[in-house]
Amino acid sequence: MNELAPISREDRVEKLKGLGHSRKRVEDVRFTQGKGNYVDDLKLPSMLYGDFVRSPYAHARVTSIDKSAALALPGVVAVLTAEDLAPLNLHWMPTLAGDKQMVLADGKVLFQGQEVAFVVANDRYVAADAVDLVVVEYEELPVVTDPFKALEPDAPVLREDLAGQTSGAHGERRHHNHIFLWEVGDKQATEEVIASAEVVAEEMVYYHRTHPCPLETCGCVASMDAVNGKLTIHGTFQAPHVVRTVASLLSGIEEHKIRVISPDIGGGFGNKVGVYPGYVCAIVASIVTGKPVKWIEDRMENLTATAFARDYWMKGRIAATKDGRITALSCHVTADHGAFDACADPTKFPAGFFSIVTGSYDIPVAYVGVDGVYTNKAPGGVAYRCSFRVTEAAYLIERMIEVLAIELGMDAAEVRAKNFIRKDQFPYQSALGWEYDSGDYHTAWNKALKAVGYEDLRREQAERVEAFKRGETRKLIGIGLTHFTEIVGAGPVKNCDILGMGMFDSCEIRIHPTGSAIARLGTISQGQGHATTFAQILASEIGLPADSITIEEGDTDTAPYGLGTYGSRSTPVAGAATAMAGRKIRAKAQMIAAYLLEVHDGDLEWDVDRFVVKGAPERFKTMAEIAYASYNQAIPGLEPGLEAVSYYDPPNMTYPFGAYVCVMEIDVDTGVADIRQFYALDDCGTRINPMIIEGQVHGGLTEAFAIAMGQEIAYDEIGNVKNATLMDFFLPTAWETPHYVTDFTETPSPHHPIGAKGVGESPNVGGVPAFSNAVHDAFRVFGLKQAHMPHDHWRIWKIAHDLGLHG
Ligand code: MCN
Ligand code: CUM
């Protein structure tokens, strides 16, 4: 081939590796070679180590703390208790939900594993030894782990600090263990429809307590430079700028004197959104000692004391006509928030976006009421691939559809299809106040049913039941259906903030003279591949190859202010900022090209990687040429350089959706469930990187599998955590993980600059009901309506047993 021949337009597009390209993850070069740089890899000169004394009791008065033996151990530098933090007013801290939380036990403890004292030593092992030498005396108090019992009139008072307070951050408190009642929708109208409905299905659906359990636990290194007055905090933070602002407000240190760095993060899954006592103690210890202080949790500490997920008791009622048209939905939730309300939600949404509970269905009237309740359990909530309680909402509606189908004697796929919001109804206004941006549910649904051969599956299932009844087999088939609608991309600043901080996001781009670039974002990857995909968005916008664009996140000294990565918001918000900043670059580039080509800028058109004179394709300037000129040539009326920044406040959230089908073979005698087939169709609008999307779906489905089929954080009646190690907490390995088939439709978001919606949390939102519905469906013909998760072997065996299937 002639080397001088111009490369084709197709080749130029290919070279960019832009939107739609399954570009390999640039991060993996270091991750697969053990060259990642995590917080615990950081070793600063004369660094000290912190470790916690934690409460063995779930509810007790702390009568005395004797630190003398610990302080006498060589190498121990300090032992901090609430008494030491009180003069600084740091013995309590505000939570993200408008409550407050003890940093160190102030008079009493409220959950097992609660932080009581913080030991600082010059060696990690010495710190651990000293923890054992701190003598704490407790006086046990009655424990409440059941949120319903917590609301009984004579239930023990958990939060004595709130005595007499009849209102909290989210309104009225109706009982000493009550946090809030949050209501959405038209209660009266919903009740009226239900009262006169032809068919009503009612069920209590429990979404059990579980935990995100990232492989890397939470931790930080706080380092106070007393000479320059600058505090640097390296930590596992999903929202570094928020941590900086909160640290400034709490410590009084000016914000420019605080630098927060999130290095590589070994999985977050929401666990690393919250603010934990360990961060506060490490910062205080560093300020007091003048030395860097590292605090890293171990696995048990992570599972017992950091942000849990779910724990929602959802009472659903759904009304319909005899032929299966849904007429109303009502839901009351008893939400167990543990000892402190430390949920991470936008301020105005104490139950997150749970009011997306009408799901993919056109339901004329609905009502939701959520009662938040204190118990003697760890605080947190919302975390775990959930988009702010959307997992719970999707689970409830997808269970209610199944229960309704039983009541109606109809096929559950048909009930769904009958009630889907139609394509021509978008943008769709839901009864609970959301405006769904775009969707085409029928197309996705039909594609899914066709792909799995739904009719044949039902036939096979029915034949299997007959064979089972004849005694020829002990295995049943379950077909788990789900059509979910997600709500991600918080979110318009007008109604979404965290502690008053508006939830926009940002991107700042600098093009270098030789045609490469760096872009910095307000988000932070924890494994999602941002360095790969955000470069692809930019490549398509500005015509420089993705391989020539560095993406940097997580350093508050360099990155523009942003609210971080959770709630699948990075693509909808920071991704939009990236495209918008790219467009600003292109607008300036166009003026430069016009000058260089001596034409009016209106005579130019953009073509992949260059501006071309309209009607004269041989006359053009590539983006690389323009970049060079922008720095090195005097251009009248224009500043030198090629940079842009965008702060993007989204006009709406994005509403990804999907259709999942899970086929299970269940052994009635052992309770073992084999996943024979799992089909997942996701629609996340414009797809940036299909390979990364597939990876996100695989990961999210595996977490969904774990949650639905075995994973839980359970407490005994005196508040001991029963699953605090990976021996007892189910974390699937390659051995247990089923095979997934992924598929897609592509319905762009009309308001996002490139039409993209988030995807990171969708597979968990849709996956859990698909797995759970499959278990339920296997036993439907034998009369099962509702069985609580997790569906481990014993619980499945118990379902079969209770239905009399063991003879
Ligand atoms: N993507 C894409 N095209 C789209 C949408 C997304 O190619 N239309 C790509 C994105 O560019 C990004 C990834 O998919 O590289 C996820 O994007 P998005 O859905 O915007 O989610 P976030 O980046 O905001 O990630 C947060 C989300 C959440 S909230 C949890 S929890 C979760 C998840 O991501 N935690 C994860 N996925 C995870 N994956 C890993 N490996 N580790 C975690 O901790
Ligand atoms: Cu809710 S888990 Mo994710 O939002 O970090």
Q: What is the pLDDT of residues 680-730, one digit of tens each?
A: 999 999 999 999 999 999 999 999 999 999 999 999 999 999 999 999 999
CATH class for the domain made up of 9-36+505-648: alpha beta
Q: Which ligand is nearest to the CA of 534?
A: 1
Tokens standing for residue 714: 């359970």
Report the pLDDT averaged over residues 224-237.
Answer: 96
Which residues are CB-neighbours of 97 under 8 A, at least 6 positions away? 169, 341, 342, 343, 344, 345, 350
**Selected catalytic residue, list 114, 238, 526, 590:** 238
How far is the C-alpha of 532 from the C-alpha of 523, rounded, in Å? 14
Measured from the alpha carbon of residue 749, the closest ligand is: 1
Lowest-pLDDT choice from 352-366, 374-388, 414-428: 374-388
* Structure confidence at residue 61 as a pLDDT band (50, 70, 90): very high
Predicted confidence at residue 383, as pLDDT, reads 85
C-alpha 120/C-alpha 295 separation (Å) is 9
φ and ψ of 75, to 5 deg: 100, -20
User: Is domain 39-141+217-265+272-305 given the CATH code 3.90.1170.50 in the classification?
Assistant: yes
Residue 238 falls in the annotated catalytic set: yes
- Using a 6 Å cutoff on CB, does residue 530 contact ligand 1? yes
Helix (H, G, I), strand (E, B) or coil at 313: strand
The mean pLDDT value for 183-191 works out to: 98
What average pLDDT does the structure give for the chain?
97
In this structure, what token pair is assigned to residue 339? 């000892």
CB contact set of 634 (below 8 Å; sequence gap of 6+)? none
Domains 9-36+505-648 and 39-141+217-265+272-305 share a fold: no
- At residue 81, the pLDDT reads 98
The ligand that comes nearest to the alpha carbon of residue 748 is 1
Q: What percent of the chain has pLDDT over 90?
A: 98
Is the pLDDT reported for residue 778 higher than 60?
yes
Q: 530 with 570: CB under 8 angstroms?
A: yes
Q: Taking 50 as the threshold, does the pLDDT of residue 375 lie above it?
A: yes
Q: Pseudo-torsion of CA 185, 188, 189, 193, nearest 10°?
A: 120
The pLDDT value given to residue 4: 64
Give distance in angstroms: CA of 756 to centre of ligand 1. Answer: 12
* Whether the predicted pLDDT of 276 surpasses 50: yes
Structure token digits, residue 219: 């931790």
Which CATH number, 3.40.640.10, 3.30.365.10, 3.10.290.10, 1.10.357.10, labels domain 309-490+653-802? 3.30.365.10
DSSP, collapsed to helix, strand or coil, labels residue 168 as: strand
State the average pLDDT over residues 756-784. Answer: 98
Question: How confident is the model at residue 3, as a pLDDT?
Answer: 56
Q: Each residue of 191-219: pLDDT tens digit? A: 999 999 999 999 999 999 999 999 999 99
Express each pLDDT in 64-112 by its tens digit: 999 999 999 999 999 999 999 999 999 999 999 999 999 999 999 999 9
Question: How does strand 293-296 pair with strand 219-225?
Answer: antiparallel
- The catalytically annotated residue of 159, 259, 385, 520 is 385
2 pLDDT higher than 70: no
**Mean pLDDT across 743-750:** 98
End-to-end, the C-alpha distance of the chain in Å comes to 77
Q: In what order do the strands lie in the sheet with 549-553?
A: 549-553, 517-521, 505-511, 643-648
Buried b (16+ CB within 10 A) or exposed e, 611-646: bbbeeeeeebbbbbbbbbbbeeeeeeeeeeebbbbb
pLDDT band at 1 (very low <50, low <70, confident <90, very high): very low
Please tell me the distance from the alpha carbon of residue 300 to that of residue 307, in angstroms, as a whole number.
Answer: 13
Q: Which of 281, 386, 496, 507 is catalytic?
A: 386
ipTM above 0.90, yes or no: yes
User: What is the distance in A from the centroid of ligand 2 to the CA of 388?
Assistant: 7
Distances (CA, A) of 494 to 282, 577, 650: 35, 17, 10
pLDDT for res 284: 96
For 423, other C-beta atoms within 10 Å of its C-beta total 14
What is the rounded distance in angstroms from the CA atom of residue 719 to the CA atom of residue 599?
76
- Whole-number Å distance, alpha carbon 631 to ligand 2 midpoint, is 42
How many angstroms separate the Cα of 292 from the Cα of each of 38, 43, 88, 218, 256? 16, 9, 19, 17, 19
489 lines ligand 1 (CB under 6 A): no
What residues does each domain of the chain span? 9-36+505-648, 39-141+217-265+272-305, 309-490+653-802
List the one residue out of 201, 283, 202 whose CA is nearest residue 235. Answer: 283
- 761, 764, 765, best to mutate for ligand 2 pocket (most atoms within 8 Å of CB): 761
DSSP string computed for 445-508: HHHHHHHHTHHHHHHHHHHHHHHHHTTS-SEEEEEEEEEEE--BS---TTT-EETTEE--EEEE
Atom of ligand 1 nearest to the CA of 525: 23
CA distance 241 to 563: 7
Please give the distance, rounded to the nearest whole angstrom, from the Cα atom of residue 189 to the centre of ligand 2.
Answer: 34
Strands 230-235 and 258-261: parallel
- The pLDDT tens digits of the residues spanning 388-414 come to 999 999 999 999 999 999 999 999 999
Q: Is 218 a catalytic residue?
A: no
Mutation test of ligand 1: which of 211, 571, 687 has the most ligand atoms closer than 8 Å to its C-beta?
Answer: 571
| Dist CA 248 CA 602 (whole Å) | 48
With H, G, I as helix, E, B as strand and everything else as coil, classify residue 684. Answer: coil
Categorize the per-residue pLDDT at 382 as very low, low, confident or very high, splitting at 50, 70 and 90. Answer: confident
Residue 427: asked if its preceding bond is cis (omega within 30°), the reply is yes
Pairwise CA distance, residues 767 & 759, whole Å: 13
Pocket test for ligand 1, best of 696, 747, 754, 764 (most atoms within 8 A of CB): 696
Measured between alpha carbons, how far is residue 758 from residues 482, 628, 752 in Å?
19, 35, 11
Mean pLDDT across 727-755: 97
Q: Identify the pLDDT of residue 491.
A: 85
d(CA 321, CA 500) in angstroms, rounded, equals: 44
Mean pLDDT for the stretch of residues 150-173: 96
- Residue 6 pLDDT > 80, yes or no? no
Q: Whose CA is nearest to atom 29 of ligand 1?
A: 566
Atom of ligand 2 nearest to the CA of 384: 2
Range 582-599 average pLDDT: 98
CA atoms within 13 A on the CB side of 159: 29
Residues 338, 336: Cα–Cα separation, whole Å: 6
